[in-house]
Structure formats: structure tokens, C-alpha cells
Amino acid sequence: MKVLVPEPQISTDKQTLSFVIDWRGESVTCVVTRRCLEVFFWLPPDADDSRLVSVFRDGFARIEALARRKLRARPTSNVSLTETDFSSG
């Protein structure tokens, strides 16, 4: 099954990516740190924006699954994904 990957927005300081997913008919903004992508998805520390987005897309199924797990535990309109989330999930 092909996963539809939303277009991420890179923060001005290039330290986070934000994206929107649908959750029970509502739009939820999710944020994943660049550090998470470096540690858990092998993003090189000096990667440019193109590579950053590519790594996000490649790992989106896992990123989305974690965001949805957090939403099931605590419904909210914003989800922040941290290294702790990935290391325990």
C-alpha cells in the first residue's frame, strides 16, 4: 500500500519539519526535529533541504505511525515528535 506523504515545511532555522495529517476529520500539525531524522533515519548532519525532505519522505510511514500513536494517547491539535518518542517507540 502506498502512503501519501504530505509536503513538509522546513523551519527557518532548519531544525524542524512540520507537516499536517488528518486525524478523525481534523487537521493536526506535527513537528519532527532534524535531530530525530539524523539519529533515527540517517540524515547526514550537513544535508541540504532536498536531502532533508527526501529522508522525511522515506521515513514517513514510521513518523506518521508514531504521531498517530501519540494522538491516540493524548488527542491534540499539535504533535511534537522528539528523540525520546522514537527511542521508546
Residue-number span of the structural domain to which 60 is assigned: 9-16+30-88
Q: Please indicate, yes or no, if residue 22 is contained in any of the structural domains.
A: no
Question: What pLDDT does residue 1 have?
Answer: 54
Q: Please indicate, yes or no, if residue 52 is contained in any of the structural domains.
A: yes
Q: Please indicate, yes or no, if residue 4 is contained in any of the structural domains.
A: no
Number of structural domains the chain divides into: 1
Q: Please indicate, yes or no, if residue 43 is contained in any of the structural domains.
A: yes
Mean pLDDT by 10 residues, the chain (89 residues): 82 96 94 96 96 96 96 95 86
Q: What is the residue-wise DSSP string for 38-89?
A: HHHH---TT--HHHHHHHHHHTHHHHHHHHHHHHHHS--SEEEE-HHHHHH-
Question: What pLDDT does residue 75 have?
Answer: 93
Question: What pLDDT does residue 3 have?
Answer: 64
